Structure 1
Amino acid sequence: MSLTSPDAACPVGPHSARGPHMMDPELLADPFAGYGRLREQGPVVRGRFVDGTPVWFVTRYDDVRAVLRDPRFVNTPSHVPGEDGADPRDGMMELLKVPEKLRVYLLGSILDSDPPDHPRLRRLVTRAFAARRILGLRPGIERTADRLLAGLPAKELDDGTVDLLEHFAYPLSITVICELVGIPADDVEQWREWGGDLVSMRPERLQHSFPVMIEYCHELVERRRAALRDDLLSELIRVQDHDGGRLSDTELVTMVLTLVLAGHETSAHLIGNGTAALLAHPDQLALLRADPGLLPRAVHELMRWCGSVQVARLRYATEDLLLSGTPIARGDALQAVLVSANFDPRHYTDPDRLDLTRHQEGQAENHVGFGHGIHYCLGATLARQEAEVAFSRLLAHCPDLALAGDPELDRARLPGSWRLNALRLRLRP
């Protein structure tokens, strides 16, 4: 892997100007195999983003990490020197029919920010996600998990199956993040619906729910300002009120949206995907049952093997450079492909095998499931803890848990995402 400045002798990239499209059926149906084939074509492959615009797919482990930590790649297109035209991400906003005045709430989040805004925004919420505070949430997460699991038998359908996503993974993850942020308990179910609308990428759903979501957040901020509490929203309001307006109303609302929506969707699908993987690999499930102390390592392997986020946010080159021998021009968009990096045989031995003992205790994180660099997932510690609690309590409550029926699971076909529509299980033989 190399990341250098270009010279006059740079070869022309070997791939088609059009290339693979993120909406190609093979990539949607099996991103592991599809992006794996691209990885073996080359470390950097020319293709097309969801809306058809040109993009470079960065496919290998070392190159993905290099791009994600290199300050020459930015998340906001307007930060590319000399770029003063239309935001190329507007094409996606048009496809989703997001009103222009509301696009800032999707495009201006901490996920898309660059220095100096990014470190400023991250510092505002880092304390809420500090390891000590997250560990203090564990008893409450365990109580919520136990309550939901105790109620699972009552959710069984006539055929004896229950949907673990619907009745456990989603309720657990949305409850935890809403309590942390400060969303009233009575509104949790509404947030779950809004999250489903957003990730569905269906304009007919999003164009109605998104404006309502934004209005709700502004109203909640005003209500909470009048009666501050011990939650993240109150902390953000205190910062806004006492720090010279460093945090605007739009940034505050955008932060709430990002934390709640990103926080519960990814955790819910790690629990869903991970449960399906364990049940499909009885040898690994037996290891975990025999040694619950393996859970932290197991969660890392499940995040590598079946994490729900398979690509990073688009990055844009701020100058001409070479990436593993491929010339990248200033302003080019790059898509770091996490799923192909996490299965790169140059980095992992037998990467297709699920091995809960793969990640050694005490060593640095050996995957890019949570990203890398300054945009490393802010809620990674919380997500890992939720998953540990979910799997440990699930195995304790449901010793006879099994997949129901057809081994072909009901999966959504969304670009860059690996998620189930439902996970039908049997609680007893």
Structure 2
Amino acid sequence: MSTVRADEPALTAPELLADPYGGYRRLREQAPVLRGRYLDDSPIWYVTRYEDVRSVLADDRFVNNAPGEAADRKARLIESLGIPPDITGYLTESILSSDGATHMRLRKLVSRAFTVRRVAQLRPSVERITTDLLDGLGDGPVDLVEHFSYPLPITVICDLVGIPEADRAQWHVWGKALSNMRPGEVGPAARGCVDYLNALIEQRRAAPQDDLIDALIAVHDEGDRLSDVEMVTMVVTLVFAGHETTAHLISNATVALLTHPDQLARLREDPALWPGVVHELMRWCGPVQITALRYATQDVELGGTLIRAGEAVQPVLVSANRDPRQYPHADELDVTRRAAERGEGHVGFGHGAHYCLGAALAKQEAEVALSALFSRFPALALACAPGELAWDPIPGARRLHELPVITRLTE
């Protein structure tokens, strides 16, 4: 691959951080595939249009495991964060980064424990936790991220996994450290999670309970089981990948509805729209804007561009989800929008073999949280102008640092 030019777009470009919808729209209209730079300034190919993004995510010629120099860069990044070498594998060798037969083996085993039935059984718990959190909001200005959208999914996932209530505040702290990726904080948080889970697995073996950890210990397929390292890695992945994205989906969706009162009015007129609207909100303001990098295992032509074997490809979900070639009036929020074909009609939860394992739980939590929030507080309002909201400048993510709202019951 030739040297990257300074004028090529980078994930850290101010225009993409400040306005990802407008920034990636401009890239999408330049070309379906175009050259750019990754976080470390290494060269990548941006894939910006809906059909091409889906094509990459469903094509086994594009893999998650970094080859050669890319693997070395990834190792250097991990080292710079201060993650101890003996626990690096718990964070990097997960179902999210595996490919082919390894990925299929892990997904098959975990799917036996993380079933649709188990998720459905959680709904009464999700509703109870939601009610308890709403009860504690009071009637004055409050940060909805800190007091509602963040604690809800971390509590739910801890319930699912089997983390005792007394330990959940510590998991909240670890989760923030791992998601913020600040050197000096990531290493101790990773160490704490791994040591805690290894001890908890031993406790569960001695005294089983009806939770996901017990299910992961028991799950098997034709004699194959998860190793202890794989179990710890899976729980870390489920907890942090699950709660962080759901928390910011709830916050982003709240802002979207508060700034589109006509759409919120439609939902209040017809509450039966709530289950479906989560998909439109995920399309329109989902918190995950890019996937992990994919690497071509052979020369592949994509969108009229030749991707050489070994080159890195960056599927851009936020651009695909606003592609007017796929969605009429793509930049408009429409709570009555439904997929034109079978499936979700968006790529907010990914696509293909790496489709989000926790999507069903995230959709359930968002539906319960949002419908309950707007039902409890009919006059809910932002406590600042929309333009004053503080969005975290994190490449590839759309998340609020805080969400100040006024929880009025009436005008």
Quick check: TM above 0.5? yes
Q: Distance in 2 between the 1:223 and 1:65 partners?
A: 42
Instruction: Give distance in 2, aligned partners of 1:97 and 1:52.
Output: 21
4+ runs deviating over 6 angstroms: none
Q: Distance in 2 between matches of 1:292 and 1:48?
A: 44
- What are the within-5 Å matches in structure 2 for residues 228-243 of structure 1? 228-239=208-219
1:419 aligns to 2:399 (yes or no)? yes
Q: Which amino acid aligns with 2:380?
A: L
Match of 2:228 in 1: 249
- Aligned partners of 2:352, 2:301: CA distance in 1, in Å? 20
> Partners of 1:226 and 1:220 in 2: how far apart?
10
Equivalent residue for 1:71?
A: 60
Tell me if 1:338 matches 2:294: no
- In the alignment, the residues of structure 2 paired with residue 68 and residue 284 of structure 1 have an alpha-carbon distance, to the nearest angstrom, of 31
Q: Which amino acid aligns with 2:59?
A: D
Whether the aligned pair in 1 keeps the contact of 2:46 and 2:314 (CA below 8 Å) is yes
Cα displacement (A) at 1:85:
8.4
Q: Is residue 2:265 matched to residue 1:276? A: no
Match of 2:25 in 1: 36
CA–CA separation in structure 2 for the residues paired with 1:84 and 1:22: 19
**Which residue does the alignment assign to 2:337?**
358
Tell whether the 8 Å contact from 2:153 to 2:246 is kept in structure 1 after alignment.
yes
2:372 is matched with 393
C-alpha deviation, 1:187, in angstroms: 1.3
1:62 paired with 2:62, answer no
Alignment of 1:306-317 (within 5 A): 306-317=285-296
CA contact (8 A) 1:39 1:60 kept: yes
Partner of 2:35: 46
1:360 CA displacement: 4.9
1:202 equivalent in structure 2: 182
Shift of 1:392: 1.3
Deviation per residue, 1:115-161 (Å, 9 max, x gap): 211111111221343323322221111111111111110xx6xxx30
Please tell me the root mean square deviation across aligned C-alpha atoms, in Å: 2.1
Contact conserved, 1:73 with 1:315, CA < 8 A, in 2?
yes
Cα–Cα, structure 1 residues 322 and 361, in superposed 2: closer, same or farther, change >3 Å?
A: closer
- Residues 113 and 216 in structure 2, CA contact (< 8 A), matched pair in contact too: no
Q: CA 1:24 to 1:253, structure 2 compared with 1: closer, same or farther past 3 Å?
A: same
SS in 2 for 1:110: coil
Tell me the alpha carbon deviations over residues 176-218 of structure 1, each in whole angstroms, 9 at most, x when there is no partner. Answer: 1111111111111211111111111211221222212211111
Q: How far apart, CA to CA, are the structure 2 residues paired with 1:203 and 1:84?
A: 23
**Relative to structure 2, which stretch is displaced further, 122-131 or 397-406?**
122-131
Are residue 262 (structure 1) and residue 241 (structure 2) matched? yes
- Secondary structure, aligned partner of 2:100: coil
Structure 1 match to 2:146: 166
Aligned-partner Cα distance in 1 for 2:353–2:317: 16
Q: Letter of the aligned partner of 2:304 in structure 1?
A: G
Contact kept, 8 Å, 2:95 with 2:106, in 1: the verdict is: yes
Identity %: 56
Which residue is equivalent to 2:389?
A: 409
* Aligned equivalents of 2:270, 2:340: Cα separation in 1: 14
The structural deviation recorded for 1:320 is 1.1
8 Å Cα contact 1:279-1:402 kept in structure 2: yes
Q: CA deviation at 1:84?
A: 8.8
How far apart, CA to CA, are the structure 1 residues paired with 2:348 and 2:90? 25
CA offset digits 1:299-326 (Å, max 9, x no partner): 1010001111111111110001211111
3-state DSSP of counterpart to 2:394: coil
Corresponding residue of 1:182? 162
Q: Shift in Å at residue 297 of structure 1? A: 1.7
Cα 1:63–1:86, aligned 2, differ >3 Å: closer, same or farther? closer
Q: Partner of 1:410: helix, strand, or coil?
A: coil
CA distance in 1, matches of 2:13, 2:270: 41
Distance 1:125 1:67 in 2: 24
The correspondence of residues 322-333 of structure 1 with structure 2, limited to 5 A, is 322-333=301-312
Gap regions ≥5 residues in structure 1: 1-11
Shift of 1:97: 2.8
CA distance in 1, matches of 2:341, 2:132: 32
Q: What secondary structure does 2:45 align onto? A: strand
